[in-house]
Structure 1
Amino acid sequence: MKEFTLEAPHEYIQLNQLLKLLNLVETGGEANQSITEGLVKVNGATELQKRKKLRPGDRIVFEEQTILIKAEAQQ
């Protein structure tokens, strides 16, 4: 399982941005297509919203990879 940490002051990341940022897809268009084709699950449910706001605690599954969204540790 991969972990993605949201850094302050960010409260969320959009689903399509996450797929691109983690290099799970090559382009933003490929990310959007994968989402609209129902290939991505968020918290166990198929997600069709390209810009779904992902927050700490959310779990994403795409192509047999699981990503957990975490919050930056407070100091």
Structure 2
Amino acid sequence: MPTVDFPLDRDHVELNQLLKLVGLCDSGGQGKALVASGAVEVDGAVELRKTCKIRAGQRVRVGDTTIRVQGAE
């Protein structure tokens, strides 16, 4: 299971934009469709809110890929 570390340089990032920024989809629109399909989990629970605010310390999972959102150090 691949793990991607995403350094967050602000307070939050919208879920659909995060999926685009880490390369799991080509656009924010594709990110929204992926979230709407029920294929995305945030902290172990299916997340259907496309623009859910993701903050440092949260984990996002799509298929076998986990994204660890890390705060600025």
Q: Please give the TM-score of this superposition, normalised by the length of structure 1.
A: 0.89
Output aligned runs, 1:1-75, within 5 Å: 1-7=3-9, 10-73=10-73
Three-state SS of the structure 2 residue aligned to 1:32 is: helix
CA RMSD for the aligned pairs? 0.8
C-alpha distance in structure 2 between counterparts of 1:70 and 1:18, whole Å = 12
Give the TM-score taking structure 2 as reference length.
0.92
Number of residue pairs matched by the alignment:
71
Identity %: 37
Greater CA radius of gyration, 1 or 2? 1
- Structure 1 residues not aligned, in runs of 5+: none
Q: Which runs of 5+ in 2 are unaligned?
A: none
